[in-house]
Amino acid sequence: MTPEVRDCAQCGAGFEPRREHARFCSALCRITWNRHHASGQPIADTPLSWSLSALQDTAERLCKAGNMSLPEALALISEAVWWVTLVDATMIRYHHDAYDRALADLAPAERKLTEGTFTGLRFVRNCMGYYVAPADFIQPQQDSFGGNAPVAFWTWQQPPVPVPGMLPQRPGRSTAWANSRYLHYRAYLVGRPVGETIRHAAGYLVQLATAFQPGGALQGRRSLVYKRE
């Protein structure tokens, strides 16, 4: 397979990325770009801050949702996935160094789980409703009375095996990242409760955002805890 080559976002030189979201050919280019853009700046009262609030609200609604119909549940899950991946992409783009430092501070197993979770959610975002029907991603669970359990306890299920053309690609990129997202979805999401996955991802992003807030705390932060009925 021909190695993928990208153009550095700072100097324009071609380089082979070692990570999926790599945008720079060197640490110097990354630092230079960050100095001239928004990295490290407070995020209060910015679009990112509003997106974080929307993410919290959606994750909280999902974790507290009771018995819902399949269409209602799929709409809520899709919304949560969209907000998680939107905020994640924004943090990577504008707070890249802080994002990497936060990952590096995690224990190895926790870092692997966090990276795998986000990569799997990117696969869901890119495929759900476009290449795979939303219902093919989600397995409803039953409560002790035989009805639908709360949405947070529904689980991710194995979607149909990808066929050529199913995995979305960005122009100029190889199939490696698309295949990686699919494999991470299988390894880190399949069989896990949807609420657990969204809570983990949203919790990481909210915690990361505290570094850019006055006093080190995100205003209006809420705990994303859910209990099985």
Question: In this predicted model, what pLDDT tens digit does every residue of 7-64 receive, in sequence order?
Answer: 877 777 777 777 666 777 777 777 677 666 654 454 555 667 788 888 989 999 999 9
pLDDT tens digit string along 134-148? 888 999 998 777 677
The mean-pLDDT minimum among 11-15, 97-101, 167-171 falls in 167-171
- Percentage above 90 pLDDT, the chain: 33
pLDDT for residue 225? 41
pLDDT for residue 213? 58
Task: Please give the average per-residue pLDDT across 89-99, as a whole number.
Answer: 83
pLDDT band at 163 (very low <50, low <70, confident <90, very high): low
Encode the chain in three state secondary structure.
CCCCCEECCCCCCEECCCCCCCCCCCHHHHHHHHHCCCCCCCCCCCHHHHHHHHHHHHHHHHHHCCCCCHHHHHHHHHHHHHHHHHHHHHHHHHCHHHHHHHHHCCCHHHHHHHHHHHHHHHHHHHHECCCECHHHCEECCECCCCCECCHHHCEECCCCCCCCCCCCCCCCCCCHHHHHHHHHHHHHCECCEHHHHHHHHHHHHHHHHHHHCHHHCCCCCCCCCCCCC
